[in-house]
């Protein structure tokens, strides 16, 4: 039998917790076949973020950026939530106050059954016109060399995601940080934790006394500032961890 990758303390803390706040990143969707950003085979090994994920890039080459998001939207739509997403739905059902904050735009948490997900960086399924703000659903395939424009005002259509230098959706960070401050346990899952303000979620949780653990295939940038790094793929580790928490709760030894 292989040793569990997490401590008994983490299982105890989760079993006793009334409030749990979770931050997820691209790594939780890696096992659903969605590329991360900064891993060696991630999106940014092939594409330069400065050419794609900012508003200046979009305005100077809208076809390129629209095409890139179109391709990623299709991958996300065809992907299925994995055991890591499902384990968080399970964890939510055994914790009285559970908050899920995600940096992911792929919608997989909601499709897995998670409720009230705080999507810090938007959602790739939604699009809107940059001139009249009208939301655009059902993006049809964009013919080569053509730019997608608003049928109402001819403005450029962009994905409803947050690019570098842009503000996060109104009030969302306040909600996430309030939950992190109140939490008994904060989990940071599948994120390099280099992008702010998202990375404040585990750090602020720690500052306010939460037990903070990350689950990642390697230690992230914040590893030295938190209580525990659980090393392993989230699709494997999370179901084991949640099952251990269930067992601990049932045994009453919390």
Contact between 210 and Zn ion by CB under 5 A: the answer reads no
100 binds, among Zn ion, ligand BJW, none (CB under 5 to 8 A by kind): none
Contact between 196 and ligand BJW by CB under 6 A: the answer reads yes
Contact between 6 and ligand BJW by CB under 6 A: the answer reads no
Only segment of 1-9, 38-46, 125-133, 205-213 that touches ligand BJW (CB under 6 A): 38-46
We find the least distance from the C-beta atom of residue 174 to ligand BJW, in angstroms, to be 13
Catalytic annotation present for 121:
yes
Measure Cα distances from 24 to 54, 96, 146, 214, 253 in Å.
Answer: 22, 20, 35, 10, 29
Q: 201: Cβ–Cβ under 8 A, 6 or more apart, which residues?
A: 21, 23, 101, 176, 177, 180, 186, 188
Interface mask (CB under 6 A) for ligand BJW, residues 156-195, using x and -? -----xxxxxxx----------------------xxx-xx
Task: Indicate the residue among 134 and 147 with the shorter CB distance to Zn ion.
Answer: 134
Residue 173's nearest CA partner among 151, 195, 200 is: 200
Q: Which residues of 201-235 are buried (b: 16+ CB within 10 A; e: fewer)?
A: bbbbbbeeebbbbbbbeeebebeeebbbbbebbbb
- What residues are annotated to the active site? 121
Which chain residues interact with Zn ion by CB under 5 A?
Answer: 129, 131-132, 134, 150, 152-153, 155
């Amino acid at each position: 039998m292989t040793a569990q990758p997490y401590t008994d303390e983490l299982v105890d803390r989760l079993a006793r917790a009334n409030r749990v706040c979770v931050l997820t990143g691209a790594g939780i969707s890696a096992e659903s076949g969605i590329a991360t950003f900064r891993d060696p085979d991630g999106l940014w090994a092939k594409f330069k973020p400065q050419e794609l994920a900012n508003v200046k890039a979009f305005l100077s080459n809208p076809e390129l950026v629209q095409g890139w998001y179109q391709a990623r939207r299709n991958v996300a739509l065809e992907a299925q939530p994995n055991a890591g997403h499902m384990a968080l739905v399970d964890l939510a059902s055994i914790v009285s106050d559970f908050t899920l904050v995600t940096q992911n735009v792929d919608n997989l948490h909601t499709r897995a059954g998670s409720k009230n997900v705080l999507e810090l960086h938007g959602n790739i399924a939604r699009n809107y016109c940059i001139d009249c703000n009208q939301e655009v659903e059902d993006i049809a395939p964009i013919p080569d060399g053509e730019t997608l424009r608003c049928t109402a005002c001819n403005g450029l259509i962009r994905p409803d995601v947050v690019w570098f230098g842009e503000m996060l959706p109104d009030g969302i960070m306040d909600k996430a940080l309030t939950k992190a401050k109140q939490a008994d346990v904060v989990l940071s899952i599948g994120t390099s934790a280099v992008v702010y303000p998202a990375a404040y979620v585990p750090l602020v949780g720690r500052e306010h006394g939460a037990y903070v653990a990350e689950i990642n295939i390697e230690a992230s940038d914040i590893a030295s500032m938190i209580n525990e790094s659980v090393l392993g793929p989230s699709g494997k580790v999370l179901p084991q961890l949640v099952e251990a928490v269930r067992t601990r709760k049932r045994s009453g030894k919390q």
